[in-house]
Amino acid sequence: MAINIWKYSSPQTFYPLAGKLAPWFLGLAGVLALVGLYIGLLLAPSDFQQGNAYRIIFIHVPAAWMSMFVYLVMAFWCAVGFAMNTRVSFMMALALAPTGALFTFIALWTGSLWGKPTWGTWWVWDARLTSELILLFLYIGFMALHAAIEDVRRADRGAALLALVGAINVPIIYFSVQWWNTLHQGASVSMTRSASMASIMLIGMLVMSLSAWMYAIGASLLRVRILIAEREQAPDGLAAGAPS
Amino acid sequence: MSWNSAAEFFAMGGYAFYVWGSYAVAAVCIAGEVWWLVHRVRTLQARPGLNAQQSVRQP
């Protein structure tokens, strides 16, 4: 049975779908967060080098991953919006931005709180940290630009262009630890510690990441619903099949 | 279980400020966003248009 994906590219059909899916994703995020916190805070042993300071990893790494991933998804929807001229795509991008900015802020904040006990400094202007800070400014710039342009369609396109150009920053963040000398450690997933310890820590981190993933999907679906309703002013216009 | 007592758990081996500071801010941020989303949904529902739409389901 073929599913007509184009059906969901119009606000009228996407609106009820987003409403149905969002609570499931948010609920799943909550359950996964509880499991992840149980593993990360209670089951996982303390690190032989960092003691218990390493437990910040269960917030920091999922938030940092999501900060980059949400941006890529946002840029993807902007590209789709340009190519297909679908309004929901631009709304999806706009719906993702605050959640992405939130994860970026959490990654920066927890990184700072982790840096102080391990590196001895709250902040350092090195490649990883600076490019992540630029990511936060890109999110804020995207939202501010969209809010500054009065005509919604022009705002969609202007902000989308900024998001697409800014996407170059994401690989820079990701590979910054390889390309430049930085205080920041390399990729976390390939960490080589004594097997039994690493696995429970890794499982905790992955469960927390999955939770962050579900949260980002749920929150942005809820927000895209709000955006659709706000834009169409009277949502019964949506049900009646307003031109898209 | 890697803890012997609740006090030990909350002390986080001397890193309580850094660990709980991270978890607290993350929790506040997420809770804040959820609150803000719910607030916007409530505001929308207060409009007369949306209530009318909710009672009439699409076929």
User: Taking Cα atoms as reference points, which of A160, A228, A158, A220 lies closest to residue A10?
Assistant: A228
Q: How confident is the model at residue B4 (pLDDT cuts 50, 70, 90)?
A: confident
- Residues with Cβ < 8 Å from A129, sequence gap 6 or more? A108, A111, A123, A182, A184
The structure tokens listed for A231 are 């834009």
CB pair distance less than 8 Å for B22 and A239:
no
Residue with structure tokens 């809010």? A147
- Distances B41 to A21, A205, B47 between C-alpha atoms, Å: 15, 32, 10
Does residue A145 have a pLDDT over 50?
yes
pLDDT in tens, A2-57: 556 556 667 778 888 888 899 999 999 999 999 999 998 898 888 878 888 889 99
Mean per-residue pLDDT for B31-46? 90
- ipTM confidence score: 0.82
B9 CB neighbours in chain A (<8 A) are 41-42
Mean per-residue pLDDT for A100-107? 97
Interface of B with A (CB under 8 A): 1-3, 9, 12-15, 17-19, 21-23, 25-26, 29-30, 33-34, 37, 40-41, 44, 47, 49-50, 52-53, 56, 58
B31 CB neighbours in chain A (<8 A) are none
CB pair distance less than 8 Å for B29 and A105:
yes
Note the pTM of the prediction, 2 decimals.
0.86
